[in-house]
Structure 1
Amino acid sequence: MITASENGITRVFLLFVNITWMLHLCSSQCHTGRKVYSNSTFGYLSDGNGDYLPNQRCEWLIESPDVQLHPYIALTFLSQDTECSYDFITVHDGNTYTSKVIAKISGDSTRAPLHILHAHSGSMLLYFFSDSNYVKNGFRAKFNIYSCLNNCSNNGRCIHMRCSCNSGWIGTSCNQRGCPNNCNAPHGSCDFIRSKRCICNAGYIGKGCNLYTSSSSQNNSWTAVNNFTFFGDASPSLSFHAAEFVYPFLYIFGGYDLNAMKNGFYRYNFSQNYWTSLRTNMIGPAPRAFHTMNYIRTEYLDQLLIFGGQFENGSYSNDMWMFNITPTRGI
């Protein structure tokens, strides 16, 4: 209420203020501009206290203080709660929207694991979008900047910005057990020299040779066959690809990686626990997603048949390609 007097007459004005909205505005640190972190190798960021606001367009740019010495950025999400599929966080490996997208995150972290993301360029750009409807708690994250990827996960030494892993650890960031549980010997043995992974004996598969191929004792349960991260000889992370199993291999072709359609061709060896990129000649299917792949076996040949799919420009395909896998069956 506001009072004012003029010529002996007192006027009373009533002013209604939405205190809740004001408190919401004051507590929110999300902004329409870009907040830059460039003076530290460690820090925290979030969309603010309490629920975020509708129609937010917020940016955070993390830059290494010295990209020549510390080019790797690790972003760890501590909490995450956004309206699933409508409010999301896009993370780029670089400082612009045209930089490679490494994640697009939405939803509640209590229903899915929290993410640790890595940038290799010395810069990481986060973009937060919310629509005009429901609002939630948003996210909190911390970042670390290292000379080697994820500081070699404390399982190795950083030498000239590359990790040299301790015995028993593999990966570009030394974050994976090479031969867990000693390959559950006598189910398998560890290849200490070449792949540093388990080579499973007949009847067993899995990264620790812990899965039986001829037993029903593990019915109605999920077991991780392989969750190695990409480090040179693994399949990249993909969606909308096609896959086909031809014992003892799993073949995958094409797909989408948040940036573009792909035409990569990969094979996973279940007994030796590694991915191989199958190099083919220049003639082959164009990059695509949403296609099919089927195994066809004739009297003398084993073939994979790829049909259709969607191209990068949004058009659909009706072409058909065949790949002869007969020479690779015994590799």
Structure 2
Amino acid sequence: MMFVQSTLASEASVAPDSSSAVTYLAETGLHYTRAVAETGQCSSVAVDPTKTETDPVSNRIPEDKSAGASEDLVTTLSSPSPVEEVTATVVAERCFNGKWTKTEDGDSTETTCVCNRGWKGKECHLCDGRVRLTDPTGLISDGVGNYSVNQQCAWLIDGFAAQRASSSQNSSTADTIDRGPAPTIRLRFEHFATECSWDHLYVFDGDGIHGSPLIGAFSGIIVSDEEEQETVFDNMTLPSSSSNSVTSITPRFQPSLLQKPTPEFTAKSGFVFLFFYSDAAYNLTGFNISYAVNECPMGDTGTPCSGNGVCLDGVCTCDGGFTGAACDRLVCPRNCSGRGTCDREAHRCRCQEGFAGPDCSQASSDGYWDVVPVSNQKRAFQPSPRASHAAAVYRDQLWIIVRCLEVNWKEQGCGIGLQLLRLRLRSPGRKEALSYGKMRKEGSPDSEALTGGEDFMEDSLQFIVSFDLTGRVWITIHSEGDKRPSWRFGHSAVIHGDKIYIYGGTLAREGEVVNELWTFDITSHFWEPVRVVEGECNDLLCGPLASTGHAAVDIGGQMMLILFGHSPKYGYLSYVQEYDFGTAEWRIVRTHGARVQGGFGVAATWDPVSQMVYAQGGAFSQSTSSYVITDAMYAYDPDTRIWSLLTPSGSPRYLHSMVAIDGAILMFGGNPHNDTSTSQGARCFSSELFVYEPGCDSWHRIPFPRQAERDWWGESPERFGHSASVFDGAMYIFGGYNGRMLNSLIRFTPGDCGPRQTEAECVIKQPPGRLCRWEGSKCEPPK
């Protein structure tokens, strides 16, 4: 966005005889807005040349062995050297991150803007190359106004150098001080708005890409002013100096934004490496990220530990009654809304009968959201965060299948550190980016499991774990035997009997899309590959097809249906594949009715009430090389093999989830972003919950509690690539991706039909997420 690296750097230079007013706003924490542009004020800081030395030949900052850096470290020479100056080719009226230089040629004198290292453009307004930061605090930005297309910038925050610099101010012998424990580095996203899914900022907890845990791959609108509207340009054209206004260019879209808590992250290695990449299409206002070495998170208060705890070595120890990394959340939010009592030992509210949710603010009869509590959460084992996994519940246990190795162990045990994902994930289509294949689960009403997935791990540290939904504890499971499937994502999983069936997906190491079918025996803990019997073919196309990002459903315990997906050989798939549990026969069947295009990341579920399969959304093919996100809703009758086109949801998305509860179809989350030119906003992740009523062929949206994210939600509920499962009449959401991999388990419990005493109340006033029918003298869900 606007700000740059060092709080010690000087103000941007103004061209001689220029009427432009350039104001230094870095200290205020403001970012570049339309109002600022119209007044001719721009926040900008010039990089201090002594802080950003690089190798002028390779444009790589040389290694600093004295700092104890690894060979991968992008760092500086041990002694300062002048920064190479790059002269802009066009005469500018403003010089944001450089200095004015006069060149005399005979009788003429030309004044040009000479950029400091790390900046480019006619006005030195765009980030460029690699920069090492050694101040204890600072600001990182992509530049002034909207960032450019095809832009690549990198920053290394050297916490050890900052720590030495801080010590040298207090000790004449600072250079002889041992390196000591690694300092912590706090990152705070003051502003972040990039083109969803295509322009990313990668943040690593380490001195480079290789071997450093990936904190997150951020994209889309994450932090922006509530009243501000993002402006997208087809290509980067800085507003003219004469107008000083970004409104001179017609915006592609102007989404309204809901203000959310400011994201903060802490790195513990002593280094943070950030890499920004933009593609050749659209661009937004970019980002401002503040950092501080050995300082604690502040939340939205501007005070370390929010004034509710003690800061020690960059970590908050919260006072009683507060929780969260910044001690900014109450253990019992809103004092349990006056509808419960606070259990400070368990860190939760005990709600009165009829009320629910973390703050007891939601009437249970109207449906409610809550975070599934974990017993002894501070000491309990937690699964590694992941997305694009598959889920199923068996009786009262939730299963996650991942491999545990001795490599990449972190101090807190298996799966706590998110390791670098080999960035080979691709969403089928014209562009490449981080994209996570969708997994589906289905099972008997009282069973669910989670399998595989993607978790930013080069090697998974947990092969299989389960969550006891009754005892509320995570359990490690040891697989027996030597056979087991390779780590994968984009596969599907269903339960039949006491076995979990996983099919297809993309192998994480090789990047190969496979057609493998495996079973995991929940009783014996043995894995077995399944040899299928070839059955019916379709136009000489016989299964099983290699597929990723498909959906799978269990049809009444008789067969498994595989729907949609993407094949490297056949592209987007529209075929319906059947697997018979009894005969092991695999068929690709001929379907009739509505025309169905191939799709990726489609959500699907089997509804035992209507005896139909419902499928919604997905990335559907427009051609062999492009796709569009759809809001289409289909029903499939497995007996007649007929597709029907239903009322669309009005909300396109993919990599979302869908479940059926007592005849109601619930759809949650997903990625609602189409290409920027047709999108209604740069939203990559959704927390929207929709309910479809098959009998009425109608949709309605259930609003997410407005107070949830700021008051009692440990992390944003927005996500895609998660799993959704049904247990005891509630929908359980696990994991997913929202710039970071998630491992939270949240739950939506639909409303209750019981309190409705008359037929009119039962039929007209349906509780959120629940369908009710008047049966005799009672209001009950359909059977």
* TM, length-normalised to structure 2: 0.33
> Are the counterparts in 2 of residues 95 and 124 from structure 1 also a CA contact under 8 Å?
yes
Do the aligned partners of residues 186 and 137 (structure 1) sit closer, same or farther apart at CA in structure 2, a change above 3 Å counting? closer
In 2: Cα distance, 1:271 partner to 1:191 partner: 22
2:213 to 96, 100, 117: 100
Counterpart check, 1:37 vs 2:237:
no
Q: Please, which moves more after superposition, 169-178 or 17-26?
A: 17-26
Counterpart of 2:195 in structure 1 is 83
Q: Please, which moves more after superposition, 120-129 or 282-291?
A: 282-291
In 1: Cα distance, 2:195 partner to 2:496 partner: 44
In 2: Cα distance, 1:287 partner to 1:20 partner: 55
Counterpart of 1:26 in structure 2 is 123
Counterpart of 1:11 in structure 2 is none
RCO higher in structure (CA 8 A, sep ≥6): 1
In 1: Cα distance, 2:378 partner to 2:489 partner: 20
Do the aligned partners of residues 271 and 199 (structure 1) sit closer, same or farther apart at CA in structure 2, a change above 3 Å counting? farther
Structure with more of its chain in strand, by fraction: 1
Counterpart of 1:260 in structure 2 is 458
> Are the counterparts in 2 of residues 235 and 275 from structure 1 also a CA contact under 8 Å?
no
> Cα deviation per residue 1:246-283 (whole Å; 9 max; x = unaligned)?
565544332112343635544455667x5514232465
- Amino acid in structure 2 at the alignment position of 1:287: W
> Cα deviation per residue 1:215-250 (whole Å; 9 max; x = unaligned)?
5512xxx73435999996434331101122456554
In 2: Cα distance, 1:231 partner to 1:71 partner: 25
In 2: Cα distance, 1:102 partner to 1:68 partner: 23
1:61 to 156, 162, 176: 156
Do the aligned partners of residues 182 and 141 (structure 1) sit closer, same or farther apart at CA in structure 2, a change above 3 Å counting? same
- Amino acid in structure 2 at the alignment position of 1:108: I
Deviation of residue 22 (structure 1)? 9.3
Within 5 A, what are the aligned runs for 1:185-204?
Answer: 190=343, 192=345, 196-197=347-348
- Amino acid in structure 1 at the alignment position of 2:371: V
> Counterpart of 1:320 in 2: which secondary structure?
strand
Counterpart of 1:10 in structure 2 is none
Counterpart of 2:183 in structure 1 is 71
Q: Please, which moves more after superposition, 96-105 or 144-153?
A: 144-153
Within 5 A, what are the aligned runs for 1:243-258?
Answer: 243-245=391-393, 249-251=397-399, 252-258=450-456
Deviation of residue 123 (structure 1)? 0.8
> Are the counterparts in 1 of residues 322 and 328 from structure 2 also a CA contact under 8 Å?
yes
> Are the counterparts in 2 of residues 35 and 60 from structure 1 also a CA contact under 8 Å?
yes
Counterpart of 2:522 in structure 1 is 324
Deviation of residue 46 (structure 1)? 0.5
> Are the counterparts in 2 of residues 205 and 271 from structure 1 also a CA contact under 8 Å?
no
Q: Please, which moves more after superposition, 107-116 or 84-93?
A: 107-116
Do the aligned partners of residues 227 and 269 (structure 1) sit closer, same or farther apart at CA in structure 2, a change above 3 Å counting? same
> Are the counterparts in 1 of residues 183 and 268 from structure 2 also a CA contact under 8 Å?
yes
Q: Please, which moves more after superposition, 172-181 or 198-207?
A: 198-207
1:276 to 474, 477, 480: 474
Deviation of residue 164 (structure 1)? 3.6
Within 5 A, what are the aligned runs for 1:47-196?
Answer: 47-64=142-159, 65-66=162-163, 68=180, 71-98=183-210, 99-109=212-222, 110=224, 115-146=263-294, 154-158=307-311, 163-170=316-323, 174=327, 177-180=330-333, 190=343, 192=345, 196=347
Counterpart of 2:505 in structure 1 is 309
- Amino acid in structure 2 at the alignment position of 1:314: G
- Amino acid in structure 2 at the alignment position of 1:48: G
Counterpart of 1:6 in structure 2 is none
Deviation of residue 138 (structure 1)? 1.5
Do the aligned partners of residues 226 and 63 (structure 1) sit closer, same or farther apart at CA in structure 2, a change above 3 Å counting? farther
> Are the counterparts in 1 of residues 204 and 213 from structure 2 also a CA contact under 8 Å?
yes
> Cα deviation per residue 1:158-215 (whole Å; 9 max; x = unaligned)?
46776543223445665654444566798787371xx544678999875456667xx5
Counterpart of 1:295 in structure 2 is 495
> Are the counterparts in 2 of residues 265 and 277 from structure 1 also a CA contact under 8 Å?
no
In 1: Cα distance, 2:355 partner to 2:495 partner: 23
- Amino acid in structure 1 at the alignment position of 2:220: G
Unmatched tracts of structure 2, length 5 or more: 1-88, 97-120, 164-178, 225-256, 299-303, 400-449, 525-726, 728-783
> Counterpart of 2:122 in 1: which secondary structure?
helix
Deviation of residue 91 (structure 1)? 0.8
> Counterpart of 1:256 in 2: which secondary structure?
coil
In 2: Cα distance, 1:268 partner to 1:292 partner: 19
Q: For the pair shown, which has the larger CA radius of gyration, 1 or 2?
A: 2
In 1: Cα distance, 2:371 partner to 2:197 partner: 29
> Counterpart of 1:280 in 2: which secondary structure?
coil
Unmatched tracts of structure 1, length 5 or more: 1-15
In 1: Cα distance, 2:332 partner to 2:135 partner: 40
Do the aligned partners of residues 22 and 122 (structure 1) sit closer, same or farther apart at CA in structure 2, a change above 3 Å counting? closer
Counterpart check, 1:225 vs 2:380:
no
Deviation of residue 94 (structure 1)? 0.6
- Amino acid in structure 1 at the alignment position of 2:488: R
- Amino acid in structure 2 at the alignment position of 1:101: L
In 2: Cα distance, 1:175 partner to 1:247 partner: 37
In 2: Cα distance, 1:280 partner to 1:96 partner: 34
Deviation of residue 17 (structure 1)? 6.3
In 2: Cα distance, 1:94 partner to 1:245 partner: 37
> Are the counterparts in 2 of residues 73 and 149 from structure 1 also a CA contact under 8 Å?
no
In 1: Cα distance, 2:156 partner to 2:143 partner: 16
Do the aligned partners of residues 125 and 244 (structure 1) sit closer, same or farther apart at CA in structure 2, a change above 3 Å counting? same
Do the aligned partners of residues 144 and 88 (structure 1) sit closer, same or farther apart at CA in structure 2, a change above 3 Å counting? same
> Are the counterparts in 2 of residues 230 and 236 from structure 1 also a CA contact under 8 Å?
no
Q: Please, which moves more after superposition, 285-294 or 48-57?
A: 285-294
In 1: Cα distance, 2:390 partner to 2:454 partner: 11
- Amino acid in structure 1 at the alignment position of 2:134: S
Do the aligned partners of residues 211 and 308 (structure 1) sit closer, same or farther apart at CA in structure 2, a change above 3 Å counting? farther
> Counterpart of 1:25 in 2: which secondary structure?
coil
> Cα deviation per residue 1:6-54 (whole Å; 9 max; x = unaligned)?
xxxxxxxxxx96869999531414012x2111231x2111011112223
> Are the counterparts in 1 of residues 185 and 314 from structure 2 also a CA contact under 8 Å?
no
> Are the counterparts in 1 of residues 339 and 361 from structure 2 also a CA contact under 8 Å?
no
> Cα deviation per residue 1:114-169 (whole Å; 9 max; x = unaligned)?
53232121111111112233333211111122266776565433467765432234
Query: Across the two proteins, how many residue pairs are aligned to each other?
Result: 299
In 2: Cα distance, 1:304 partner to 1:158 partner: 46
> Are the counterparts in 2 of residues 244 and 295 from structure 1 also a CA contact under 8 Å?
yes
In 1: Cα distance, 2:356 partner to 2:393 partner: 14
> Are the counterparts in 2 of residues 188 and 209 from structure 1 also a CA contact under 8 Å?
no
